[in-house]
Every structure is written in structure tokens, then in C-alpha cells.
A and B are shown apart, each in its own frame.
Chain A
Amino acid sequence: MDSSLETAAGREQLRRVVIDPVSRVEGHGKVTLLLDEDDHVREARLHIVEFRGFEVFIQGRPYWEVPVMVQRLCGICPVSHHLAASKAMDRVLGIPITRSAEKLRRLMHYGQILQSHALHFFHLSSPDLLFGFESEVGKRNIVGVAAAYPEVARQGVLLRKFGQEVIRATAGKRIHGTGSVPGGMNRHLAVEDRDALRAEIDHMVEWSRAAVELVKRLHRADPALYDEFGRFRANVMSLVRADGAMDLYHGALRFRDADGRILVDKVPDQSYRSLIREQVKPWSYMKFPYLQQLGPDEGWYQVGPLARVQNCDFIPTPLAEAERREFIDHGRGEPVRATLAYHWARMIELLHAAEVIRDLLGDGDLLEGALLADGERGNEGVGIIEAPRGTLIHHYQVGDDDLVTMCNLIVSTTHNNQAMNTAVREVARRYLDGRKLTEGLLNHIEVAIRAYDPCLSCATHALGKMPLVLELADAGGEVVDRVVRD
């Protein structure tokens, strides 16, 4: 796996170009490029410049507070954190949750997938894809899309709204609801909410199909761009259901290598630590996870829609499965690796989410049945869920006094850290190298990052004792004091 362009030699002699902030992503990040005097790219890095601290300030809090507190990590996908924490606490309590509770959580989660994928594709990325990467920057936004393609924008906005309504009906609020609790749920779906959602769901399925068609048209219109832009080899990871189906709420971990061969399969969520390690680099607050058996240089991997659609054996809803087959066929026997294929895979998942919601809304267990169960209390639990952006891991230890003693979060965007950096380098090498930089050229870098739908707010939750050297120098550059924390 290519990691050149990570650190240039003779950095102080190079010219520095910064994209700060990276726009139309969640959270704050920046890209630095170091160029030599002939405008050749010598170094390209995606830096995460936020610093948060959930892993530490969750310690000492009671376990039942955690699913509500941790969802404040994010305003886009709070449901993912809400449910991953709830699943981890189910394990702490030793509770296999009830049928009704699981279906309600699934409905909430697929509502989240629908709204987040719609938000990302229509609001954040479609301006690049519909207008071109170097189009007029003032129109390259959702308002510009609404003016030029009003029906596309309208469907995007209403798809997202529908997903938000699913979340409100199951969690109580569109953002930062409290429906899921350790051991189950605290509410059923109200009949009037069910009826209101059912009245609209067929539209949503149709519009999701149209979204997949739109992405496919874009691919067909410019295959050279869509099949090559930011293309590189990578391992992939996701949860997969026991029978190999795509399951975004629960499953076991599966890794495939860059050729699509299964490396590791059926690893229970509770054993994630036997697979994954995290590496720290001095220039980013975001860690670099990797598959332990391959090491940090070879073991990094992609997560999210592009990984999931190709890691599962099938999608258990018919329309999305038909689209998955077409997507796989597009690779002609090879895994599809182009960065822009993330959008295609994401829209297939959007369609899958709409189908799952449609099927769930006909299920009477959402309206009645036990919501909470009892179990045998333990002290540790891992909850893994496939969040819109990829695999989300929550791991907690809880003392006998009910207070959290340890918290480890590995969020989707963190898994994609190396992949995003590699995408940035591929694009920098291919499109920017040796050229005079313009806004449009720099936007190529952002397009590559955006394809991953990174959530940089989520990805910078960690807080700890980072090794730090502080030097105080006088005007002449002489070090007069030095403090080291390791």
C-alpha cells in the first residue's frame, strides 16, 4: 500500500498550500500540500484539527446516561452513537433485547442511514458531480442544485426529511433523541406516526431508485473520471450478518483484501480488539487503525458504503440487491475501487434503507410488545453498528457501582483515515502535480475527501496523555527551558 507523499524530505524548503477548512464535510479538517519549485507535489496530508474528549469525560458517569451523552459527539449521525452505546450496555447488563425493541432500534437506525446518505449525496456532494469539480464555486452548493435541477434537490431534501421523521417517531426528536436505553427501548411507534410514514414510504423507495439511477448516469457519462479518480487498492471491513447478508444494525466482522478475498470472517463484535490496533501519527489528532495481523503498513482498510456493498454476499432486499449485482458486475471480476464509486454504493444503501423501512412499517411488533428485558449483569460490553459512514465501535467497562471505568470509541471516519489520506495523495499526484494550483484543482482534493462523507467531529473524540515536548526559546533561538510529558 502506497504511503509515499506522507512525509517529504527537506520540508522547510518546500512551498506550502493549505485547504482550510475542507468544506461540505462534517467537522473541521484541513489539507496541507508541500510543493517544490516546479510545482510537483512532495507531501499531502489530511489533518484533523479538532480536539474533543468523550472517552475521558464519560468515565465516572453512570452507564444508563451513556447512550444519551455520547450521541452529542455528532449532530448528523447521533443515532449511530446512541445505538452503539446502547448495544454495548445491553452486553453489560447481559440482556438479549426483546423483539419489539430490536425492530424499533432497526427502524431508527435505517431512518438514520436514509437521512444521512441523502444529506451527504444531495446537499454535500451532488454539486461537484452535477456541475463539475471546477465549476463556478459560487453555484457549487445545494442552492445551485435547487436552481438548476429543482426536482433532484426537492427529492433529496424530502428523502432526508423522511429519514428525520423516522428518527423522531422512534427516538422522540429528530436530533439527539432518547428512545434507546440500555436493555431495550422506552417507547413504541405510535400508530399515527406509523400511518404517516407508510403514506410516504413508496415515494421514498421510488426516489431512492431514482438516486441510484442518477449516480449510474453520472458514471456512464464520464467513465474515465468515475472509474479512475482516486482509485487505489485497499482492504475493506464491515459487519456482515451470519448468512453473509448486509446488516447495518448487527453482525460479525469481516475483512477482505484488496483483491476481494476474505481475510477474516465471523469475528464476534466482542472480540474486535483481537483484530484491530490503532497507530498514532504526530501530525494528526485522528488515529490510524489497522488489521493487526497485517501490521500498520499493509493492514489499513476502508469502511463505509463502498466496503459494505462489496463485503457482504448479498443485500436482503430485492431492489437494492439487483443494484448491488449491477455494481459488482461493473468491476468485471475485480473489486470496484474508485473513490467516486462511494457515491454509487451509498445510493444503493439509501435504497436498501428505504426498503427495510417499508418492510418494518408493516410489522406489528413496533406498536406493542415488551420493550425491556432482564439479564445477568456483567462489567464489560462492546457495541458495533454500521453507521452511515462505516463501522462504529463503542467499548465500555462498568464497575459494580454502575459507573463507567473505561471507554474506547473507534468511529467510522477514523477507520477511513489512511484511506482518505491515500485518496488525497492519489488525486494530488494525478491532477495537481506540476500544475499551477487553482480553486478548482484544489477542489479535486476535497471531492476525494467528501466521497468518504467524513465526520471529523466524531473522529476526534479521544483525549489522553499525548506525549508532548514543550521548549521555551529565547530571542536568539537558545532553548532556555524544556518540559517533557510522555
Chain B
Amino acid sequence: MLTARQDPAGDRPGSLGLAPRPTGRGGPRRTSLWRSVSGVLFMAPALVVLLVFWLVPLILVVVFSLFHWDYGTNPQFVGTEQYHIVLSDPLFGQAVLTTLVFAAVVVAVGTAFSLLVAVVLYSEVQARGLFRSLVFLPYVMPMVATSTIWLWMFQPGSGVVDRLMHAVGLPGQVAWLNSSTLALAALCIYTIWYGFGFTALLFTAGLTAIPSEVLNAGLVDGAGAWQRFRYLVWPLLTPTTLFVVVVNTISAFQAFTQIYALTRGGPVNATTTLTYYIYETAFTYFHFGAASASAVVLFVFVVVLTAAQFLLSRRYVFYDEATA
């Protein structure tokens, strides 16, 4: 995603061997036919996999969403009724709300925190490489393993979180994962912990792209660190910020592993997000039709939200050749 965009059709003039060129063997016509055939053959393995397991299922999920279909029964065409059923399920509504709260907290706090870390990493500090490697570490660790340790850390009484809270005079014996609000908070903390090093890295990439003349000009004009950040860095960083917000939103909507390992969607469905709802509907209750309808709703949700973020921030985002 950070790489330069290329013309997908690839037929820009002057690019590599793109025009069929006549060679010695068999004349232009035969060469070009031969090249088409081998090109298709070369692409075939990848295309088969991507079609069968990624693109056709995308069509199938829409088709399935129009059927009433539980495991072991015959699918029954019900049209859009499946959507009425799903949308009127109170648990679905609750899952939408939970997902929105979870995404809002993770995106707002996570983005702000990783921006702070990135700005600090970007300034002249000793051992920058070491710090960068350390904050990035959670992102490459298996989520089940790190969720297990956070589960232990969140235990009331014996867990580290409780002990640290006790040490600074906060109330102890907090059963994080047994309270509906705190369980969601615990999930947010874990998710921010897991991802902030990665998003900080995205921000550092954006910061590196800011021309140093701009910052130097600010220095010459006597702007302080905060003023330089507020009036120079922040506006120039808006394309990166938008990208980070979109990336964080999409990954918050897709969160699953940490929910499965930390809370199993509980207590009493308090941390059942849409992804977890789909998983349970499909693979605990085997309502394939309902799960497909929810998946379509979630997909539309994410697309709309992403588009809205782009549209809303159009006013605030500063696009420039040097930074975009």
C-alpha cells in the first residue's frame, strides 16, 4: 500500500516489453498468439485460486444471503426477508453498537497515541532503531499467544494490571473481563497495544516525506515545537492520518482473534462485535443464510464508512505532490 501506484493495465508507452514485438521466430502474428497463450497459462494457477476462493465467494455470499438456510436443511429462497430477520435481531443491533464503540475508541486513541510515538521517534533521538523495533514487536507476535498473556494480566487480584492499579492507589480486585464495560475497555487496550507500533510506522513514513525546508522555515520564523507541529506537520500529514484512520477502522471492524481469546464475545454478549456475531451465527448455530446476510451488511457498512471518511475529510486533507 505504500508503494507507488502503477497503471494497472500497464500499457504506458515505454514500459517493459509491453507491445508485442516481432522476433525472429515465426513472424509477429504467431509470436503474439504464442505470447498470449503462455501469458494466460502463467497466470492460470494464481487466477484459479483467487477466483475460486476470493471472487466467486464474494458473489456467493450475496446469493446465500437471500436464502433461509441452516446446516443440514435445504436452502429456501426467501429474498430480502433474511435481511429483515437479521436487522430485527436485537443481538445484531447490539453487535453493531458494540462494533461502533470499539472501532471509535481504538481508532481515536490508537491513532493519537501512534502519532505521538511517531513524532517522538522522528525527532532526533538516540537508539531510534531499537525503539522502533520494540514498539513494532506486538504486531508480529501471534495474537492468541499475546491475548493469553493479557488474559493473565487482566485477572482480578493476581493480574499485573490490578497490581499496578493498586500500587498507584486505584481500587483493586477489578474483574476486567467479567464486567460488560470493562471487558470492552480491555479489548480496546489490547487492540491498541497490538497495533500502535504498526500505525506509528505508517506515520513515520508520512513524516519522512515532509520536506525539511518547510520545518526549517518554521524554525527560522521562530515557531516553537508545538506551533511547528500544529501549523506545519499536522496539515502536511493529513493524507497519512486519513490513511491510518481508514486502516484502523477497517481492522477494528475485522477484529476477531482477540475477542475469541479474551472474552468469547461475553460477558452476556457485551463484546460481541459484528465479526464475532457472524462467526457465531455461522459456526456455532450454523445459520448460513443469516450469517451471509450479516456479512453483506457488515461489508456495506465498512465500504460506506470508508467512503464517508474520505468524503468528510476532503476539506481537511492537504494533498500535495511532495507528500501525497
A and B: interacting chains? no
Residues of B participating in the A interface, judged by any CB pair closer than 8 Å = none
Residues of A participating in the B interface, judged by any CB pair closer than 8 Å = none
